[in-house]
Structure 1
Amino acid sequence: MAVEGGSSEYEGNADADEMKEPLLQKTGASNGRDRRNKERERVINVPAAHPDDDDGASAGFGYNYGLRPYQDIAFSVIFVLLLFASIGFGIYGVVNSNPDYEWIESAHYEPDKGACSVPEHVQEKFGGGAWKQFWLHKNKKLLLNSIVAQKVSGSAETAVSLVIAITVVLSAPFALCMLWLLRKKTKELVYASLPVFILLPVALNVTWFVACQRDVECRRNFDFSAQLSLFLFVLLVCGLMIYVIYSNWDRIQLTIRVVQTAAEALYQNLTLLFVLPLLSFALIGLCTPLATFMVYAYTNGKLVPNPDILNHPQMPCGRGTDHPCCVWEPTGWVVPYLYLSGFAILWAAMITAQVQVFTISGTVAQWYFARGQFATGVAILRSLGHALGPSFGTMCLAGLVVAFVRLVRSLMNKANAEQGQPGALTIFLQACLESILQAVEFLTKFTTNFAAITGDSFCTSAIMTWNLLKRNLLSTVLVEVISDKVLAVVMVALTLVYGIILYAILSLTASLDHSTKMIATISSSVMLLLVLSLFSRILSNIVDTVYICYAMDKDEGVVHKPPVHNVFVILPPSWDEPAALAVPHEN
């Protein structure tokens, strides 16, 4: 039932309208009208939990300000133990490193003894632990040539560096400009982006078809009937996309409202743009020692003759050949440690990403469900405290799932590179596996969003997420896809405009050659694109959180943001229940 003007159409007509079942915690439909009336009475009479309330407990919907228990503790313990093991073995590797590793290039192979040794005159000349001095001495001619080249091209490099530095400074105003467009011109941006979904595939389809007709080899290897079939199939897919957009126009309108509200949420919480990068720096601070330990761990071993030389004594080795006489053989524990520490770095990176999503979701949910004044700093600290405190085990489990997905995808890509040209069955199986991996990542991201709002464990949040996706899958997918495409179009458009303007300014004001101007323009555009992509990733996570908040309001039949309360007209009802009454909630 529609709600207009911020007032509810519910006027006590309890027998005429029915409240739908909760979306996130659906039970059997046989509970009858009594349960529905009790749910309606609870939604109307019980306000959302807020830290100013006496008990601070959750009222059943909205952000959980209450005391949160520690969830998924076992996974946080496993992660901490993995870190301690990586650090402990790393320190052991540093203490027991073999200095002979520094002299691999100068090692001498003794066929009579079947062993490798380092000449004493090399060690005496450069001293122990002076591999850098040896390398500099060995390559001093190359270094001199490099220094001369640097002096010659120093002015060009200075100009490029200056342009990139200016771009970094201007990236913040560009990000704010992008935010302003998404807040004020959301409908226009979405309408302008929708044709791109159709016109770009059609243009690429026509381009390859015409190019193949003009190329003799393509016509010889690719039969015309197969070309025409593929061309018509792509056009059919584009036509299907047009039909999907037309038949789901209400969900397009939903996307516009969700993106606009998400942009407003980011505008009200700009501190997120400064807090979240600090987590990335913390990750760098953690991974740098681990990477250093991995390097030192590899130095635990000894110099041994190249096995190829031992199997073929007549094979030449050393300088001027492709076969070194001596190679490094690490100790038995080194290789397992490298895998262990590498996985620890990957897991830590995925946990950091989940903590960022958790912080964004928790902060935005507090803004969405807030009553009265809203303090951004307090909300961010509260969400970050929950992520690193009671929900840290949930973050570890979510990070582990995503890390496993990344490993599987990496192994699949490695197998493709080694296999060469895969068969049709292999391509089909890989496509199915990739779809499963994307679905797992999609579900995990929404699970983290739910955990940030409710404080539940990973499994409980995953079940709630599954119920949401099961009953609103098409709306969720369209909101996700269209919002990401809109952000990508705006981001690329701003980058292209900046690149064109920058090249024009350099052409008019700087006396640089064409290649230098192109390098400066491309480098600066890439730098701006990276900054805007980080901004878009934050906004994309906010879009997901706002959609979840909308769904929670829909389930409970309340409205926490009166200016956008008519979004309930657009949100599709559940498959087997009538739409909920939207009862405005005073903020």
Structure 2
Amino acid sequence: MGSSEDPNNKVDFPYESPASQPFLSKPSYPSSSSSAVEEESESNQQFHHITYNSGPRSFKDLPFLILFLLFVLSSFAFGIFAIIHRNNSYPSLSSFTYDPTTTSCVLNPSNSSSSSVSTLSLVDTTSSVSSKLVKGLIWTLVITFVLSVPLCWALLLLLKHYTKQIVYAAIPLFIAIPVFLNVYWFVACTLGASCSNAFPLAYRVLILVFLFLVIGIIVWILVVNWHRVELTVSIIGVASHALSRNMALFGVLPCLSVGLVLYFVPIVVFMVFARFNGKIVVKNLKSGYDCEWKEDSWVPAYYALAVLTMLWSAAAMVEAQVYVISGTIANWYFSKEHQTPKRSIRTPLRNVFGPSSGTICLSGLLVCVVRMVRSAVDSARQEDTPGIVNLVLRCCVNALLTAVDFLNKFTINFAAITGEAYCSSARMTYELLRRNLLSAVFVETISSRILAGIVFVFSASYTIVVRGVSMTLMLALCIRNLL
């Protein structure tokens, strides 16, 4: 795979501690009664290097898999019940009127016929509009697919062969962009009458100096941790090389997303038909009586069940995709030199829907809970509830949720590599972060920002190209119609 100096070659495990202790080791304490040889042998028994488990794996976290299956089966069972026991009077609710003689709602034939005519006209209009929309959507998807393939390939080759140049070119932007924004804000506020009146010159200078101090701290952090920048270069290079050796991931991951959408279709249909379960009742108004639809008591509970099932399934699918990526890359990374691993993608797929499915369900449940709590916190923040206590609580909750998210990222990677249960993988993650927290955070921050910047540049270029191609096609169609 090239010379040993190539940064894209396999290197030592990037998160392994530079110390002599093996990875995920327990701290050893010197004992006066034991010799150095005994300490080393005991250390070797306690410590273990992380490696890819390519053998058979046992089922882990089965209770969470069973709980997830109960949610799914309940959603489908009650959905089928909703279709079978639906009330066909719901679509013609507007045709029902109150009958004083029977003190109930009865169907008015005249309203029903007019409603059916309007429905047919609406269907015709909708079909004509939808046909044009589908045609335009198909062209958009075709152009997107044709242009995305070379762009993705170019991005992968760029990261594979010019990793160090890209990272070193992107790092100055972490300094240049904040400096530009700081100076731009100061000049714009000085020239603006309203801003200059609201903020005196002393305050503006104070904020300017403070922001430059923060930028100086960022520069100092980069200089002190320059060896971790080299680690980031190595990790991005290895990841790019691994993706180039496992190109089937670009087909498997979209297929999993399509499978999730197909899985959502019946649940959405069930939720629509659940609305049909109920009856038409008389509503007493001040001006008289009217007819309204009253749902069965179990319908709101089914909506909650179906929504929770969909949220959990979506989070679990994201974790499953991460598991497949981590398992595939780890299988390649820990294989022998010049040897292509067999079934590098089929094995993680079999594990994610087999022995590790419970771990995926547990991880997806945690992510789902974190997102729901974060949404609740954001909703509470939008209400502008006063008080320093509420502000402190929101900060603490956000910090806790961020920590859980960060921990879960590494945990699912360890589960994909070792095949251990979620708690065992979380323990490995704790050992990793306890010994290499700064390296993990630094690499995570730098690499994610660099990749986000590269994706932004490519997305902007892609948008310009797609816009140009679309305008060219539209112009060609107009010219053809004129001729």
Q: Tell me the TM-score normalized by structure 2.
A: 0.83
Note the aligned Cα RMSD (angstroms).
Answer: 3.5
What's the offset of the Cα at 1:500?
A: 4.0
Q: 1:239 is matched with which residue?
A: 216
Distance 1:375 1:111 in 2: 81
Cα deviation, residue 260, structure 1: 0.4
**Displacement of 1:42:** 8.4
Distance 1:326 1:227 in 2: 64
Q: Distance in 2 between matches of 1:265 and 1:328?
A: 58
Q: CA deviation at 1:215?
A: 3.8
Of 70, 75, 87, the match for 1:98: 87
How far apart are residue 278 of structure 1 and its match? Answer: 1.6
Unmatched 5+ stretches in structure 1? 7-17, 44-58, 318-324, 514-587
Counterpart among 373, 376, 392 of residue 357 in structure 2: 392
Residues 465/162 of structure 1: CA separation in 2 closer, same or farther (3 Å cut): same
Can you list the C-alpha shifts for 1:342-396, whole angstroms capped at 9, x where unaligned?
1111111111111111111111111111125644560211111111111111111
Q: CA deviation at 1:60?
A: 5.7
- Tell whether the 8 Å contact from 2:335 to 2:341 is kept in structure 1 after alignment: no
Q: Per-residue CA shift, 1:56-114, capped at 9, x if unaligned?
A: xxx86411123322111111111111111111111111111112221234443568987
* SS of corresponding position for 1:176: helix
Name the CA distance, whole Å, in 2 between partners of 1:284 and 1:212.
Answer: 49
Aligned equivalent of 1:449: 413
Correspondence for 2:393 among 429, 445, 450? 429
User: Which amino acid counterpart does residue 419 of structure 2 have in structure 1?
Assistant: G
1:383-412 Cα distance to aligned partner (Å, 9 max, x none): 111111111111111111001011111222
**Offset of residue 224 of structure 1:** 5.3
Partners of 2:431 and 2:100 lie apart in 1 by 70
Number of the residue aligned with 2:183:
206
Distance 1:170-1:73 versus aligned 2 partners, 3 A rule: same
Give 2:26's aligned amino acid: K
Corresponding residue of 1:84? 73
Question: In the alignment, which residue of structure 2 is the partner of 1:409?
Answer: 374
Per-residue deviation, 1:480: 1.0
Give matches, 1:415-494, under 5 Å: 415-417=380-382, 419-420=383-384, 425-494=389-458
Q: Per the alignment, do residues 264 and 471 of structure 1 end up closer, same or farther by CA in structure 2, a change over 3 Å counting? A: same
Corresponding residue for 2:20? 20
Q: What CA deviation, in whole Å up to 9, does each residue of 1:185-231 have, x standing for no partner?
A: 11111112112222223333333343334444444555655544444
- The 8 Å contact of residues 19 and 40 in structure 1, kept in 2 or not, is answered as no
Question: Aligned match of 2:316 in 337, 351, 356?
Answer: 351
Q: Distance in 2 between matches of 1:30 and 1:304?
A: 81
Give, in whole Å, the separation in 2 of the partners of 1:504 and 1:160. 17
Q: Of 334, 346, 351, which aligns to 1:369? A: 334
Distance 2:390 2:231 in 1: 39
Task: Give distance in 2, aligned partners of 1:212 and 1:118.
Answer: 67
Aligned match of 1:378 = 343
Any idea what the Cα deviations from partners look like across 1:142-188, whole Å, max 9, x if unmatched?
Answer: 949x96x999xx7x997896465223212011101000110111111
2:238, 2:63 → 1: CA distance? Answer: 37
Which one of the candidate residues 330, 341, 344 is aligned to 2:295? 330
Figure out how many residues of one structure are paired with residues of the other and give that number: 459
Cα deviation 1:8-31 (Å, max 9, x = unaligned): xxxxxxxxxx98333314144246
Q: Which residue of 2 aligns with 1:68?
A: 57
Give the unaligned 5+ runs of structure 2.
Answer: 7-17, 478-483
> Is the contact made by 2:143 and 2:466 (CA closer than 8 Å) also made in structure 1?
no
From 161, 170, 178, give the equivalent of 2:155. 178
Q: Which residue does 2:246 correspond to in 1?
A: 269
Q: Which residue identity lines up with residue 310 of structure 2 in the other structure?
A: I
Letter of the 1:278 partner, please give it.
Answer: C
Cα displacement string for residues 312-334 of structure 1 (whole angstroms, at most 9, x for unaligned residues): x149x9xxxxxxx6543211111
Q: 1:284 aligns with which of 261, 286, 291?
A: 261
Q: Per-residue displacement from partner, 1:425-459 (whole Å, max 9, x unpaired)?
A: 54443233222212211111210100111111110
Question: How much does 1:116 deviate?
Answer: 4.7
Look up the equivalent residue of 1:366 and give its one-letter code: N
The answer to whether the Cα contact below 8 Å between 1:402 and 1:441 also exists between their aligned partners in 2 is yes
Quick one: structure 1 residues 353 and 80, their matched pair in 2 at CA, closer, same or farther if it must change by over 3 Å? Answer: same
Distance in 2 separating the partners of 1:115 and 1:223: 72
Aligned counterpart, 1:530? none
1: distance between equivalents of 2:277 and 2:391? 42
Quote the offset at 1:460 in angstroms.
Answer: 0.8
Counterparts in 2 of 1:486-505, with a 5 A limit? 486-501=450-465
- Once the 2 structures are TM-superposed, how far is the Cα of residue 304 of structure 1 from its aligned partner? 4.1
Q: Which amino acid aligns with 1:136?
A: T
Q: Supply the distance in 2 between the matched residues of 1:509 and 1:381 (Cα, whole angstroms).
A: 41
Contact in 2 for aligned 1:117/1:303 (Cα 8 Å): no
Look up the SS of the partner of 2:89 in the other structure. helix
Tell me: CA distance 1:106–1:205, structure 2 relative to 1, closer, same or farther (3 Å): farther
Corresponding letter in the other structure for 1:93: A
Go from structure 1 to structure 2 and tell me whether the alpha carbon gap of 1:183 and 1:433 turns closer, same or farther (over 3 Å shift): same
Could you say if the C-alpha distance between residues 510 and 296 of structure 1 is closer, same or farther in structure 2, counting changes exceeding 3 Å? closer
The answer on whether the counterparts of 1:19 and 1:37 sit within 8 Å (CA) in structure 2 is: no
State whether structure 2 residue 44 is matched by structure 1 residue 34. no
Q: CA–CA distance in 2 between the matches of 1:381 and 1:501?
A: 36
Aligned with 1:296 (options 273, 284, 292): 273
Alignment of 1:518-529 (within 5 A): none
